[in-house]
Chains A and B, each alone.
Chain A
Amino acid sequence: MDHDGGEVVTPGELLGNSSLLAGLGAYADGRCVRASITGHRRLVPPPPGSTDQRSTVEVVGHKAHGAVPQPGSVVIARVTKVMARMASADIMCVDSKAVKEKFTGMIRQQDVRATEIDKVDMFQSYRPGDIVRALVLSLGDARAYYLSTAQNELGVVSAQSITGGTLVPISWTEMQCELTGQIEQRKVAKVE
């Protein structure tokens, strides 16, 4: 990243007037754009083809914040509890970045798969300890993010059988134990 280009600014410092757009680390205050964090000032030209021809000014700070799940991001989560109508999971990664603190997610019965959503059996789809790839639907309620696995690429990516062996996917609903050959039901993700 190009850090050395811009001068160092501190919160509250004037970056420009309304001929610029406020990006990350900056904010618009009436007619002027000011910095909100300490860091290097950087100008980003408008993306080609956009109607707004104004450049964006942003401030690149030196503190890296942990990744936070946003609606639309793909997360990797570990299932912690499976109930009749939902399963809860702890989010571990957001878009290939590990999270610093604990975020809980919830997969509701209607979000497990795209078809026949009323016939979903949660216990035939997930087990505690499964690693799932899921899409963040929304910020959810006060306790958990709402997650969805209603796509071919989403679902269980890694799991262990009852005996403790690794499960190998054999179809989009079944996985087989390496050790015993026993077949278990899961909502399997299609991993490329």
Chain B
Amino acid sequence: MEYVNPLTGFRVDGRRPNEMRQLKGEVGVVARADGSALFEMGNTRVIAAVYGPREVQNKGQQVNSKDALVRCEYRMADFSTGDRRRKPKGDRRSTEISLVIRQTMEASILTHLMPRSQIDIFVQVLQADGGTRAACINAATLALADAGIPMRDIVTSCSAGYLCSTPLLDLNYIEDSAGGPDVTVGFLTKMDKVTLLQMDAKLPMDTFETVMDLAIEGCKAIANYIREVLLENTRRLECQRG
């Protein structure tokens, strides 16, 4: 199948190879949570809720009492994919993604400031169209920032792939299921550091670097957008306060 039109250079959904899907972010969507966010990347739509820092509920999970315990739960709604199917809780895929999100967020949260406390992050995929991993990390970042939890930097994530000898930014579901390489990068923009790098295929070194650079550019664009959302939200709160 042709994923990039050889004549026009456009992708299956009409994007250019280095074009991202439309982003949309909204904070404060869950009233009960300390921080929450809704994040959309095209048709991928994710909701995240953050509770905490609060006292550790299960003392057995506390490994190091000098740092905050970060917990993460990833779930896909039954209606998020094309075929409606009940998915068991805690299958391999969601356990793995929960772990990835937890590790990525832990790298940016200043856990040493909140000893003996825990932070819970719940992410739920409402609509899946490829790149859920990246969208979940972005939603979690936005929710943590909304909760006012101290972070080193805003960590953002974006995926990139390589199909029809073209590096493609932000793969959608059709491109994702093509079986080509899928590089997901988590990036701290202001500190210029990579916190997450995943790839489920083989890729020559030089190609890999161009694909990764493309993903990093995507991360930077998302970070700019997230900052705008946060600033806009702060201004709105200020107006309400008067």
| A34 interface residue per 8 A CB criterion | yes
Is the Cβ of B234 less than 8 Å from the Cβ of A12? Answer: no
Interface contact tally, CB-CB below 8 A: 77
Contact segment of B3-11, B70-78, B183-191? B183-191
Which chain B residues lie closer than 8 Å to A155 at the CB level? none
**Is B154's CB under 8 angstroms from A103's CB?**
no
Q: How far is the CA of A24 from the CA of B154 in the complex (A)?
A: 18
Whether, in the assembled complex, B213 has its beta carbon less than 8 Å from a beta carbon of chain A, the answer is no
Q: Which of A3, A12, A63 has the most CB of B within 10 A?
A: A12
Among A10, A25, A29, max chain B CB count under 10 A is at: A10
State the CA gap A62–B35 with chains docked (Å): 12
Is there contact, CB below 8 Å, between B55 and A12? no
Residue in A closest to B235 when the chains form the complex, CB atoms: A8
| A37, A38, A63 — most chain B CB neighbours (10 Å) | A38
DSSP majority for the B interface? mixed
Q: Encode A138-152 as 1/0 by CB contact (under 8 A) with B.
A: 010011000000000
Contact in complex: B62, A10 (CB < 8 Å)? no
Q: Does B166 contact A (CB under 8 A)?
A: no
- Interface size of B by CB at 8 A reads 35
- CB neighbours of A102 from chain B (8 A): 55
Q: Is the CB of A14 within 8 A of B190?
A: yes
Chain B residues near A65: list those with CB within 8 A: 53, 148
Whether the pair B110, A10 counts as a contact (CB closer than 8 A) is: no
CA distance A40 to B231 in the complex (A): 10
User: Which of A11, A14, A102, A103 has the most chain B CB atoms closer than 10 A to its own CB?
Assistant: A11
Cβ-defined contact, A11 with B191, below 8 A: no
Closest to A36 in B: B150
Q: Tell me which residues across on chain B come within 8 A of A38, comparing CB atoms.
A: 145-146, 148, 230-231, 233-234
When the two chains form the complex, which single residue of B34, B35, B188 contacts A12, counting CB atoms closer than 8 Å?
Answer: B188
Are B153 and A12 interface neighbours, CB within 8 A? yes
> B83 at the A/B interface (Cβ < 8 Å)?
no
Q: Which residues of A contact B2 (CB under 8 A)?
A: none
List, in ascending order, chain A residues with CB within 8 A of B233's CB. Answer: 38
* A95 close to chain B: CB less than 8 A: no
Bound-state CA distance A34–B153 (Å) is 8
Residues in A with CB closer than 8 Å to B231 are 8, 10, 38
Residue of B nearest to A30 (CB): B191
* Contact across chains for A10 and B154 when beta carbons are under 8 A apart: yes
25 A-B pairs in the complex with CB atoms less than 8 angstroms apart: A8-B234, A8-B235, A10-B154, A11-B108, A11-B151, A11-B152, A11-B154, A12-B151, A13-B190, A27-B110, A29-B152, A29-B191, A36-B110, A36-B150, A37-B149, A37-B151, A38-B146, A38-B148, A38-B231, A39-B148, A62-B234, A63-B34, A63-B35, A65-B53, A143-B59
A interface vs B, CB < 8 Å? 3, 8, 10-14, 25, 27, 29, 34, 36-40, 61-63, 65, 101-103, 139, 142-143
**Assuming A12-B151, A37-B145, what are 4 further A-B pairs, CB within 8 angstroms?**
A10-B226, A11-B154, A62-B148, A101-B55
Q: Give the top 4 A-B pairs by smallest Cβ distance, nearest first.
A: A12-B153, A63-B148, A36-B150, A12-B190
